[in-house]
A = this chain, B = another copy of it.
Amino acid sequence: MRRGLFVGRFQPFHNGHLEAIRAVLGECEECVIAVGSSQKSHETDNLFTLGERIEMIYETLRAEGLAQRAIIVGIPDINNNSLWVAHLKALSPSFDAVYSNNALVKQLFAEAGIKVKPLKLVKREDYDGTAIRKSMGKTKEWEKHVPPKVKEFVARIDGVERLRQIAEGDKI
């Protein structure tokens, strides 16, 4: 197949995401990486801006020799599920398959007549973004679950300090 689409929030980009992209690239020539909730940042569950997420994904894919087969696009929340498939299609290069384990993504594409392929995950603990975020700022455990370039990037922008600060309260 020519192009597969993979949807996630990538807060942060972790080993599970990288494994999933490899799986997509096993079946497709190119992978479109759709970064959801792209307008969110500086929240405990959405720590990084879209630009920061693009940077950490891109640097990792380069280091892995996969950059030339990937296209990253940002997808802001539209808060209207009936528009979401059209919204994503307008923001992305055309694609031939969608890969996701998200229940709502599967249902919305199914109603649009597009079958979503499941992602087979190997190391479950690498796929738990919530656990990775919880560990950040407390222990160094999280560093095992992200690619080296992500670890470097988070250090460069002082991401752990950001998380520690807003852990006290992420509402104004």
The docked-state distance in angstroms from the alpha carbon of A1 to that of B166 is 28
Cβ of A12 within 8 Å of any chain B Cβ, yes or no, is no
Report A60 CB to chain B, min CB distance, Å.
13
B165 and A90 contacting across the interface, CB-CB below 8 Å: no
Size bracket of the A interface: 35 or more
A86 and B91 contacting across the interface, CB-CB below 8 Å: no
Given contacts A51-B90, A58-B93, A68-B67, contact A107 B42 (CB under 8 A): yes
Q: List 18 A-B contacts (CB under 8 A).
A: A38-B91, A39-B79, A40-B81, A41-B82, A42-B107, A43-B81, A49-B91, A54-B73, A54-B93, A68-B68, A74-B74, A74-B91, A80-B90, A83-B83, A86-B86, A103-B169, A104-B171, A107-B165
